[in-house]
Structure 1
Amino acid sequence: MPHIRVTVTDSELPADVRSALARGVTRLAVSVLHKSRARTVVHIDPVPAGHYFVDGEPLTGDRDAHVEVSLTLGTNSAAEKAAFIAAARELLSDLLGPLARSGVALHELHPESYGYQGVTQFEHYRRPTGAPAAPVAR
């Protein structure tokens, strides 16, 4: 159940590029990290370059991007994570052009501290396939 946030220093990022980024990182989450397409959420965050700082100074003249992925701890190998980072960098370059500083961060969250629709990942993985979610005690 990854949540993927792509920040791009271009507040006027065209809709077709935003869509291509969303489709591309979803494809990578599914093909490289073996995540569910239906449970993959992508948030594209175009920001003005002046809101993005390098060495304490606002970025000027360049486009940059950063990808952050929240995923469940222990569900991917080091090789899968490295492959995702490399493929995401290539996707960013293909869609946005040369990026000198782009980054990719995978945030692994403990399954008891990460959930979807009111159910922790711990409970999700414990349930038999196809079983409904247990009601959340209040």
Structure 2
Amino acid sequence: MPLITVAYTSSRQSPSLKADIASAVSELTAGILHKDPNVTAIIVKSVDAGDWFAGGKSLAEQKLASYWIDIHVTEGTNTKDEKAAYLAAMFKRMAEILGSLHPETYLHVDEVRGDAYGFGGLSQERRYIAGKLDVSLKAA
């Protein structure tokens, strides 16, 4: 149930670019971080390369693409190895979609406490407890 925000800049343009980005992000998030794509929300925003600066120069000047991905997941649901694999795989996939990436391209996995994060009006902690109660009631 992560909420993922993707801001990107690229000289590549196509009618399906945002959908391609959302699809790749969803696929890698499901495959590596084991997050259900049916409850994954992704916001994709384009930023003009002239408005994105890295190393003191705009990415338009440098003729490079970049992205900032911010993903919120429940604390403790992913290992360090999973997060490292996710960062590496995302960098590779986004380079395929956006073109040559500036090395100052970022992805941030925000691990949020289960009692402070949720969707549909319920925290993840409440969903977890409810799931445990369902299992124990069925076993009785």
SS in 1 for 2:72: strand
Q: Tell me the residue number matched to 2:77.
A: 75
Q: CA RMSD in A?
A: 2.0
CA displacement 1:49-102 (0-9 Å, x = unmatched):
232222455432322112111111100011111111111111101111110232
| Distance in 1 of aligned mates of 2:75 and 2:13 | 32
Q: Tell me the residue number matched to 1:93.
A: 95
TM-score (norm 2): 0.83
Larger radius of gyration: 2
Size of the aligned set, in residue pairs, is 130
| Distance in 1 of aligned mates of 2:100 and 2:55 | 20
| Contact 1:12–1:46 (8 Å) recurs in 2 | no
> Structure 1 stretches of 5 or more lacking a match?
132-138
| Contact 2:64–2:99 (8 Å) recurs in 1 | no
Bigger share in helix: 2
> Structure 2 stretches of 5 or more lacking a match?
135-140
For residue 98 of structure 2, what is the amino acid of its counterpart?
Answer: L
| Distance in 2 of aligned mates of 1:83 and 1:117 | 30
For residue 116 of structure 1, what is the amino acid of its counterpart?
Answer: F
For residue 110 of structure 2, what is the amino acid of its counterpart?
Answer: H
